[in-house]
A and B are shown apart, each in its own frame.
Chain A
Amino acid sequence: MSKSIWIKLFAAVGLLFLLSACSFNPLADPKTLIQTPELPSDKQTLSSIISSELPEGASIQSPKNGNGSKIQTVDLDGDGTSETIVFYQTTTGRIVGLIFEKSGDTWVKKDTIDSAGFTLESVEITDITNDGHRDLIVGYSNDTSNSESSQKRLVIYSYDKGKISIVDDMPYSYYSIIDMDGDGINDLVITKINNSGYVNIAAYRYKAGFQLISSMDLVNTIGSDHFYNVVAGKVTANQNGIIMDQTLGVSAFSHLIVMEDGQLKDVFPLSRQATYKDIQITSEDVNNDGILEIGMAEIPEGWENIAPTEIPRFTSYYQWSGGADLTKLVSQQYRDEQGRFVIKLAPEWIGKVTIDTKSNKNQDLRFILKDTGEKVAEVRFFSENEWNNHSGDWEIIAQNRGQVIALWENSKINVIQN
């Protein structure tokens, strides 16, 4: 082989390496190469059809409450083809809704919802008119702030044969769709401020229009912005109700509204005494048994005479058992005030554990048995340095900004629910 061929060959190889070094950097930053996954083709189609229908500058809205999905696809009219409901806000701030119906592989715009509001509060799709077809229940407000005080409008729409029609339109602060009287048919329960300024709760049933079944005013409660939590659902194994947690300064108390003999009633007529708590606790189904619990703050035994700000309070969750006070304690927890951790007592130890008065709720919490005083668990706040040098059988339960919060548990007496 002649020398010149070799030289040419080596030059070619060298050139290749040089070129590849210029245009080709195998060690690019990997994170610059990621991208948002594509939507499935049907959703892409839908997305592009929606975009083509939006006026310039409009943005698709996500409801402030409830299911936060921007685009919902359901069969509204029960004809076996799906409809898609989208709300957008125009450049002037108005909320406008669009209804599309599926047609083969594509979607066709059927109707427009011209709303009266500027904020989309909620979108719920369920059958409230009891005709077997789902209805569209949309809440609007004119308020752009987060305040709950302003009166909102609840509009119930029905969709049939490609046309949207308004079934009813009523002012509300909170609404719940729930079977209050146990007849198997959903009722619409509206909480609003009535003309005299009181909080009014009204239950409606749909029968050729919404018929008022029962209505009541909450005693001594003016203005609806004091409610920090309104939740509807089962309150006993076979009764539905609505729990409304109301603020009282930094404290709180709760209402439980049920229907008895066709009449709405607050089961704690003297709510402030029966459900008063030093701190605001959200009522919810904490033990996942399908029944709502009312949360109560409880001062551990021995802390009665200590300054309220220093008390490490237990949070006790009660189920309603029919009476005018709360007796059925189902869960006892220690909830850190800053939301860093939650310690749940095992059901068999509920009510039998207190916190050593030498504890400090931001340093060291010692859980002891009420009768013997024996230490059964401890939550300690470690600095990172302390944690690295710690000894003993500690389990991290929270970790943040150089702070380690760890739990020690008496292995013979397991008071902590895992």
Chain B
Amino acid sequence: MIKKGMTRQIVLHYFIVVFLTILLVELVFLFAIRTYYYDGISNYLQSSFDNTRAPANYRDIVSSYSLDKAEVQVLDLKGNVLQNSTAFIVDKPVQTGDIPQALSGSTGRWIGKQAGTGEDVMAVTRMIKINGDKEYLVRYVTSLELVNQKLFYITMVSAGIGVIILIVVLMVSIGLANSIVKPINNIIGVSTLMAKGDFNVRIKGNYPHEIGELAATLNYMADEIVRSNQIKDDFISSISHELRTPLTGIKGWSETLVSGGFDPEETKLGMSIISKETERLIGLVEEMLDFSKLQQNQMKLVIGQVNLKEILQETMLNVWAKAEQKQIKLVLEPGDASYIVQADGNRLKQVFLNLVDNAIKFSPNESTIKLVIKELAPERVRIVVKDSGIGISTEFLEKVKDRFFQVNPNQGGTGLGLAITQQIVQLHKGEMHIESELDHGTSVMVDLPLLEKKPATPDLTKEAN
């Protein structure tokens, strides 16, 4: 027997549906066949009534109505058999259902068991008048044994055909069920392995339709898990490195300072290095804190009206020194209009600092970084940070915004910068896109909802200049 499960269910459903269909069809068929035979016989007997003229003489009734293969009886209106075509007298009056029908003037038909023999018979009775006056019932009785035998045979044959159809359907449905269940079982096996932590297994085989999609999705899921694990590992190793470098500096200088014997100048240098490295550690930790806040949706924005132009100018001032080192020119355009957005000024500044810092990091010396503000659709403003640096290959373009992702993990950093930036922008109901061409530069576009646009103020323009 098929074991419990989908195969059995599918097979059972098929079986039930086909069984019911066959049953109904056969019932209708057999009923029709039975009706055909019985009606055929009663019509034959009735036609004998129609084709026979009532004789003028009572004694001639039996011979007038005699019919091959049927017994003719002549009854009085009370059902007593007066004459019949057999040699014997029927002593008991006939009381079957055809008698009242015939008495009412129609042709009576009755199917049942013959008294005395128990044989299945059909009786067809009609009232006749002798000379238009004396009324008698003429009753044909014929055996249905052969007909019933035939009907039984037909029933058996059609039941046999039904059973064969059912067997065929059963086999087809088992095949069909297996074609569904086998891949599913395979997928279950593989996903069980995955659940146990083995992400190197993959679902093999080319399955069609939904099952194929399920297999592909599971395989993709495994790929992603492997990749994100890899990213996490990379992150841990790079963050360890990041943490160790300042700590080594701090440890070295603090040990040196403890041993004493340094002049104040040297002590000051050492302390400032310790301080700087500590600053760097704090920065790293804060970045990670921010990230974890964002992850847990715990970052609170202090929303106010922020002039984008001011924020960008401040950003430019903050990275001035870094840009100077690489002789990179920062350009803000246009310089004449100011855009007000609803935002947390500090967070927004963090966004642009990060973007411009990245741009400087990946730009060659003596290049230009452009910061462009432009009104996009109504009530939407776009800030573009455009560099002409090394660019990002398409392969990595989609992944740079992922947390912990670094194109080159050995370059330092947490790989959280863009992820945090992206999330802050999203918190401001904005969007961030990156367009990049390898070796030609990268454009990062930040779209924000615009509150209002103000004409340029002379002070700010002057300051920018």
> Measuring CB to CB, which residues of chain A are less than 8 angstroms from any residue of chain B?
1, 9, 13, 16-17, 20, 24, 26-31, 33-41, 43, 47, 60, 67-73, 335-336, 339-342, 397-398, 400
Number of A-B contacts (CB under 8 A): 114
Contact across chains for A36 and B36 when beta carbons are under 8 A apart: no
Q: Which single residue of chain A is at the shortest CB-CB distance from B116?
A: A40
Q: Whole-angstrom distance from the CB of B52 to the nearest CB of chain A?
A: 11
Q: Given A35-B142, A41-B117, A43-B88, are A30 and B133 also a contact pair (CB < 8 Å)?
A: no
Contacts of A28 in B (CB 8 A): 150
Complex contacts, B38 vs chain A, CB 8 Å? 30
Residues of B contacting A398 in the complex (Cβ-Cβ under 8 angstroms): 132
Residues of chain A lying within 8 A (CB to CB) of residue B143: 34-38
| Cβ contacts under 8 Å, A26 to chain B | 33, 154
Please state if A37 and B71 are interface contacts (CB–CB under 8 Å). yes
Contact stretch, chosen from B168-176, B234-242, B269-277, B426-434: B168-176
Residues A69 and B88 in contact, CB atoms below 8 Å apart: yes
Q: Please report the C-alpha to C-alpha distance between residue A28 and residue B151 in the assembled complex, in whole angstroms.
A: 11
Question: Can you name 18 A-B residue pairings with CB atoms under 8 Å?
Answer: A1-B174, A1-B175, A13-B164, A16-B164, A20-B157, A29-B40, A30-B39, A34-B44, A34-B143, A34-B144, A35-B143, A35-B145, A37-B71, A37-B114, A38-B117, A43-B88, A60-B87, A70-B87
Given A38-B119, A72-B89, A16 and B161 touching (CB < 8 A)? yes
Q: Indicate if the CB atoms of B89 and A69 lie closer than 8 Å.
A: yes
Interface flag for B70 (CB, 8 Å): yes
The size of the chain B interface, using a CB distance under 8 A, is 49
Q: Is the CB of B209 closer than 8 A to any CB of chain A?
A: no
Interface centre among A17, A35, A37, A342 (most CB of B within 10 A): A37
Interchain CB contact (< 8 A) of A39 among B44, B117, B130, B165: B117
Q: Is B231 an interface residue (CB 8 A)?
A: no
Q: When the two chains form their complex, are residues B69 and A341 in contact, meaning their CB atoms are under 8 A apart? A: no
Q: Within 8 Å CB of A69, what residues of B?
A: 83, 87-89
Contact B70 A36 (CB under 8 A): yes
Mask: chain B, 127-144; 1 = CB below 8 Å from A; 0 = not: 000111100000001111
Q: Which of B369-415 contact A (CB under 8 A)?
A: none
Contact of B132 among A1, A33, A335 (CB under 8 A): A335
CB neighbours of B62 from chain A (8 A) = 68
Closest residue on chain A to residue B56 by CB atoms: A339
**Most chain A CB atoms below 10 A, which of B36, B69, B83:** B69
Measured CB to CB, the nearest residue on chain A to B55 is A339
Cβ distance A340 to chain B, nearest Cβ, rounded Å = 5
Closest to A60 in B: B87
- The residues of A that contact B132 with a CB separation of less than 8 Å are 335-336, 339-342, 397-398
Question: In the complex, are the beta carbons of B142 and A34 less than 8 A apart?
Answer: yes
> In the assembly, what is the distance between CA of A17 and CA of B162, in Å?
12
| Contact A20 to B161, CB < 8 A, known contacts A1-B175, A33-B147, A34-B142 | yes
Q: Which residues of A contact B41 (CB under 8 A)?
A: 30-31, 33-34
Which residues of the other chain, B, contact A71 by a CB distance below 8 angstroms?
A: 87-89
List B contacts of A339 (CB < 8 A): 56, 130-133
User: Which residue from B40, B130, B131, B174 sits with its C-beta under 8 Å from A31?
Assistant: B40
A27 cross-chain contacts in B, Cβ below 8 A? 36
The answer for the CA separation of A146 and B44 in the assembled complex, in Å, is 34
Closest B-chain residue to A69, C-beta based?
A: B89
Asked whether B146 lies within 8 Å of A335 as measured between CB atoms, the reply is: no
